């Protein structure tokens, strides 16, 4: 069973504020009662069943844990007021108590309110790809981590077989190609599962032009992985970083400027024929 750890350190980690606000999930096979495990599985099944209409998980597993830890008591029932009815003092107080009780029930012991950052569909996929390239996939990700990544990507696959730029978006080549590749790296096969999500994803990608249609950032990742020719990827010359910072063309002005720095560095290494040495350790 997964447990959210808050404000705790770890091996080889350092912090300037004693890990205040740090959040990470840890799997404990012995955690939870049979009833709690059954509740978790029920929440998972309900989310998967309704994934096309309700695409945000609402942090249900986290809320379940925090409500157990906080022991704030039952949340008052919602007060229903008709359009023609007057709002009474009692209804107002009950509603305020409901809001306060709910907010207190999902507050972390350090004082903040945890939340997941799971909207974009281009964070976890490159991580899987880089861990695979560097040979650290099985070192960093355990079996339960892989299972949850697979579950997460399958749950956010659109009905047409593709994935969006984010969990609420229509299917794009960027989200679809990266998600498909990450799932294949994690062992998913075309014929797996009753609905054959991988087969549907492959068809969507091929029907929409293949990797040629993926944006530049996606071309970079698939070129690094070795499934797309570098000649088809737009270059990001490292010389761009020599442009003065007051210039609007300086890469640091980009929202993801640090990623541009990585792109430039990889381009430099590739041009110096060091890429093979890098991937081989």
In this prediction, residue 260 carries a pLDDT of: 57
Q: Could you read off the pLDDT of 160-170 as tens digits, one per residue?
A: 999 999 999 99
Cα(159)–Cα(121) distance, integer angstroms = 16
What average pLDDT score do residues 112-129 get?
89
Q: Is position 279 within any domain?
A: no
In this prediction, residue 224 carries a pLDDT of: 85
> Considering its fold, how many domains does the chain have in total?
2
Q: Where are the alpha helices (DSSP H) in 11-123?
A: 34-49, 60-70, 89-105
Compute the mean pLDDT over every residue in the chain, rounded to the nearest whole number: 87
| Token pair of 16 as six digits | 């300037």
* Domain end residue (candidates: 105, 132, 159): 105
In this prediction, residue 52 carries a pLDDT of: 93
Query: Which residues have a Cβ under 8 Å from the Cβ of 246 and sit 6 or more positions away?
Result: none
What average pLDDT score do residues 89-112 get?
94
Are 71 and 131 found together in one domain? no
Q: Could you read off the pLDDT of 3-58 as tens digits, one per residue?
A: 999 999 988 889 999 999 899 999 999 988 999 999 999 999 999 999 999 998 88
Are 228 and 153 found together in one domain? yes
Give the range among 36-40, 93-97, 134-138, 275-279 with minimum mean pLDDT. 275-279
Give the range among 22-26, 193-197, 233-237 with minimum mean pLDDT. 233-237
Are 178 and 229 found together in one domain? yes
Q: How confident is the model at residue 235 (pLDDT cuts 50, 70, 90)?
A: confident
Q: Is position 251 within any domain?
A: no
Q: What pTM, to 2 d.p., does this model score?
A: 0.83
Residue 133 has pLDDT above 80, yes or no: yes
Cβ–Cβ < 8 Å for 57, 41: no
Residue 257 has pLDDT above 80, yes or no: no
Which domain, by its residues, includes 43?
Answer: 2-105
Are 154 and 57 found together in one domain? no
What average pLDDT score do residues 184-192 get?
93
* Domain end residue (candidates: 60, 78, 105): 105
Neighbours of 81 (CB within 10 A): 13
| Token pair of 18 as six digits | 């004693």
Q: How confident is the model at residue 270 (pLDDT cuts 50, 70, 90)?
A: low
Q: Is position 79 within any domain?
A: yes
What average pLDDT score do residues 141-159 get?
96
Q: Is position 170 within any domain?
A: yes
CA dihedral 174, 177, 179, 180 (to 10 degrees): 170
Residue 275 has pLDDT above 60, yes or no: no
What average pLDDT score do residues 223-251 get?
81
In this prediction, residue 117 carries a pLDDT of: 78
Q: For Cα atoms 91, 96, 99, give the angle at the middle one, nearest 5 degrees.
A: 125
Q: How confident is the model at residue 276 (pLDDT cuts 50, 70, 90)?
A: very low
Are 144 and 72 found together in one domain? no
SS3 273: coil
In the chain, the percentage of residues whose pLDDT exceeds 70 is 89
């Amino acid at each position: 069973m997964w447990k959210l750890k808050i404000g705790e350190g770890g091996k080889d980690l350092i912090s300037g504020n004693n890990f205040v606000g740090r959040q990470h999930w840890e799997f404990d096979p012995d955690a939870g009662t049979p009833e709690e495990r059954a509740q978790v599985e029920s929440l998972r099944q309900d989310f998967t069943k309704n994934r096309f209409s309700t695409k945000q998980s609402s942090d249900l597993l986290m809320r379940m844990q925090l409500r157990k830890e906080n022991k704030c008591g039952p949340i008052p029932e919602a007060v229903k007021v008709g359009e023609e009815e007057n709002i009474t003092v009692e209804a107002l107080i009950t509603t305020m108590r409901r809001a306060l009780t709910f907010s207190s029930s999902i507050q972390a012991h350090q004082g903040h309110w945890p939340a997941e950052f799971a909207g974009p569909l281009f964070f976890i996929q490159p991580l899987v790809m880089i861990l695979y390239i560097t040979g650290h996939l099985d070192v960093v990700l355990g079996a339960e981590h892989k299972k949850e990544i697979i579950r997460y990507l399958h749950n956010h696959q659109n009905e047409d077989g593709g994935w969006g730029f984010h969990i609420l978006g229509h299917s794009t080549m960027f989200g679809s190609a990266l998600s498909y590749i990450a799932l294949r790296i994690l062992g998913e096969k075309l014929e797996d599962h009753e609905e054959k999500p991988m087969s549907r994803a492959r068809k969507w990608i091929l029907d929409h032009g293949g990797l040629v249609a993926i944006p530049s950032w996606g071309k970079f990742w698939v070129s690094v992985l070795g499934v797309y020719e570098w000649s088809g990827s737009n270059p990001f010359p490292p010389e761009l970083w020599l442009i003065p910072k007051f210039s609007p063309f300086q890469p640091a002005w980009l929202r993801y400027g640090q990623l541009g720095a990585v792109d430039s560095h990889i381009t430099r290494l590739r041009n110096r024929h060091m890429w093979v040495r890098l991937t081989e350790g």
